[in-house]
Homo-oligomer: A and B are copies of this chain.
Amino acid sequence: MRVNDKNYRTVWMQENTVFLINQNLLPFRFELFESSDWETSCMVIQTMIVRGAGAIGATAGFAMAQAALQAPEADYINYLLEAKTAIEATRPTAQNLFAATARVHAKALISRDEAVNEAQQIAQEDLDACMTIGKLGNTLIPDQARIETHCNAGWLAFVDHGSALSPIYEAAKQGKKPFVLVDETRPRSQGARLTAWELFNEHIQHRIIADNAGAHYMSHGMVDLMIVGADRIAANGDVANKIGTLEKAIVAKEYGIPFYVAAPSMTIDWLCATGVDIPIEERSEEEVLFQTGINKSGELTTIQVASPESEAWNPAFDVTPAHLIHAIITEKGIFKPSELNRMQ
């Protein structure tokens, strides 16, 4: 990830410290956050200093490794288990989180060093998978394609490269000149804030649109394909992703527009038979009723944007059924959702 001409990962670990790009401050400020213990790393996931399936997974793996480093010799096994439970309680939907804690926890039972190595390995695998997804996904993108995407499944959602945006970055490298319609993605506006910022940094043409405008552009033949990420994929190919994904998939079907999901295979939860089994996180209503940005003096400011006496509902994800998805792009190949099990 290039920021100010320097290469960054979104999250990395050196000795016992986890370093992260503070995504709550983007795109207005670029700041690193340092977490020197697993409890702080939990807070980092919970408060969305880090967000996005892969980046959450890597952070959770590092947090589990930090727990191994912190665990007192006398109470090592109990301490690890308590830490694992706490890390897994930070956010309920992203499969990568549970896969990472399970893997690092298993290695931690062997040794602290093995735990740290496994966490580093998970981050590296995430990065490699995203790069391969870019190369495979690029084959689905025609020259000068107009691509709609929802939320942020870019660099910032992973350790690097991204899932949904990785094929677009690859297409741009190949000179295909993709154009991206960026769904704002209320309530947290990861599209308007993070995806747009990434695309600007990569010099890729794009426009931000209100989530409401997707069907309008699709109905006018201005969207050639749609690519989104995934927070968890059930064995039958149902996909949990950012709230609003389901809506876009239904509209894309109405207009015969290919709808692709891009995600590392780690996102698949083989124990989830269908999307009904995926828990959906309900987040604070304040995310809908208030909004943060910068005021004219450049200060980060939170304002109330809704009627003060009213309450809100705020589901963070929805489930898109497999039949609405054209294909799932993974590092192991491109699969029809109904044929995901051929990967195993």
Q: Which residues of A contact B (CB under 8 A)?
A: 27-28, 181-182, 184-187, 189, 192-194, 196-197, 199-200, 206-217, 219, 242-244, 246-247, 250-251, 254, 280, 288-296, 301-315, 318-319
Interface pair A196/B318, CB less than 8 Å apart: no
A308 to B296 alpha-carbon distance, docked (Å) = 12
Contact of A189 among B280, B306, B318 (CB under 8 A): B306
Copies in the complex: 2
Chain B residues within an 8 Å CB radius of A307? 27, 192-194, 196-197, 200, 208
- Not counting A196-B306, A196-B309, A291-B303, a sample of 10 additional A-B residue pairs whose C-beta atoms are within 8 angstroms of each other reads A192-B288, A192-B306, A200-B309, A207-B311, A207-B313, A210-B288, A247-B251, A251-B251, A291-B305, A293-B306
Smallest CB–CB gap between A337 and chain B, Å?
A: 17
A199 to B280 alpha-carbon distance, docked (Å) = 28
Interface pair A312/B187, CB less than 8 Å apart: no
Interface pair B209/A211, CB less than 8 Å apart: no
Query: Which B residue's beta carbon lies closest to that of A300?
Result: B303
Smallest CB–CB gap between A134 and chain B, Å?
A: 22
Interface pair B288/A295, CB less than 8 Å apart: no
Contact of A27 among B193, B291, B303, B308 (CB under 8 A): B308
> Please, could you name 11 A-B residue pairs with CB atoms under 8 Å apart, sorted by A?
A184-B288, A189-B306, A193-B306, A208-B313, A210-B244, A211-B211, A216-B280, A219-B318, A291-B291, A293-B306, A301-B303
Chain B residues within an 8 Å CB radius of A187? 184, 210, 212
Query: Which B residue's beta carbon lies closest to that of A293?
Result: B303
Interface pair B186/A315, CB less than 8 Å apart: no
Smallest CB–CB gap between A291 and chain B, Å?
A: 6
Chain B residues within an 8 Å CB radius of A247? 212, 214-216, 247, 251
Q: Contacts A186-B212, A296-B302, A315-B216 given; indicate if A199 touches B310 (C-beta within 8 A).
A: yes
A247 to B210 alpha-carbon distance, docked (Å) = 12
Query: Which B residue's beta carbon lies closest to that of A181?
Result: B313
Chain B residues within an 8 Å CB radius of A295? 295, 301-303
Interface pair A219/B246, CB less than 8 Å apart: yes
- Please indicate which of the listed interface residues A194, A200, A209, A280 has the most CB atoms of chain B within 10 Å of its own CB: A209
Chain B residues within an 8 Å CB radius of A27? 306-308
Contact of A312 among B199, B209, B302, B303 (CB under 8 A): B209
